[in-house]
Structure formats: C-alpha cells, structure tokens
Amino acid sequence: MNVAEFCEKVGTTRDTLRLYDQIGLLKPKRNHNNYRNFSVEDQKAFAIIRNLQRASLTLEEIKIVLELRDKPITDDCHTNTQKFLKNKRNEFQKKRDFYEQLLVVTDEMSNALDDSQTDMEQFIEKFGEIE
C-alpha cells in the first residue's frame, strides 16, 4: 500500500513514516518509481513501535528491540538484551508502583467527596507524597 493508505490505516503522518524510514525502524520496499510500498509486515512493525512507545521506550531502544527479530542471538547480544530487559522491567515496576499509589489517592479523594465536610487540601497534599 502507498504512504497515504498506510497513514490512514495505522493513524499516523507522512512525516512520522519518513522519520521511521530514515532511522531504520520501518524498511518499506520501494516500487519502480522509488515510492514507498508498505506491507502487512510493516503494519505489524508499526504496531510494535506504537506499543513500545506507549511503554516509554525511546526510538533508539525500539530499534534495538526490532533488530532482535532479524539477528541471530549471539552471546554478546544475549547478555546485552538481558541487561536491557531487566533495566526496562525495573522502570516499568517503578511506574506501576507510582500508578498504584495514584489510584489509592484518587480513590480516597473520590470517596471523600461524598462527605461535604472533607478537607480536600489534605488529599491533594498526598499527591506530593507519591514516589
């Protein structure tokens, strides 16, 4: 499919596709006019990119992950990938803990709103205590 069709299908812009092509995240084939021709595989790669972005990975980190699909797993690659994944897992755990604390505080605030005598200031202050 051409650029316009692909943009519409995946909900992105031409500029984004151009960037992803330039940095090697997406590698669409070229037709005889040298226009990009996107495939179903490109759609799958784009979905992976979007989900990894939602998980706060940088484009550089996403490129590393995508390259794992095409490379044999050498000892160095295995070690580096394990280290990368452990670091990311720790980051995700910290974010998860933060959001769990945020859920507790917002639930407390929501429940407190049912009581007209509640001092909201004390609940709002709790947002500053979340780590």
Does residue 62 share a domain with residue 21? Answer: yes
Does residue 90 share a domain with residue 66? Answer: no
Does residue 66 share a domain with residue 83? Answer: no
DSSP class per residue in 53-66:
HHTT--HHHHHHHH
Does residue 84 share a domain with residue 100? Answer: yes
Domain region containing 110: 74-130
User: How many domains in the chain?
Assistant: 2
Does residue 10 share a domain with residue 59? Answer: yes
Does residue 103 share a domain with residue 86? Answer: yes
Joined together, the tokens standing for residue 116 give 């007209």
Could you report the per-residue pLDDT of 23-52, keeping only the tens digit for each? Answer: 999 999 999 999 999 999 999 999 999 999
Does residue 48 share a domain with residue 105? Answer: no
What is residue 44's predicted lDDT score, i.e. its pLDDT? Answer: 93
Does residue 54 share a domain with residue 87? Answer: no
Where do we find the tokens 């990938």?
Answer: 81
Query: Binning pLDDT at 50, 70 and 90, where does residue 74 land?
Result: confident
Query: Binning pLDDT at 50, 70 and 90, where does residue 118 land?
Result: low
In terms of Cβ atoms closer than 10 Å to its own Cβ (0-12, 13-18, 19+), residue 76 is exposed
Model-wide pTM > 0.75: no
Query: Binning pLDDT at 50, 70 and 90, where does residue 116 land?
Result: low
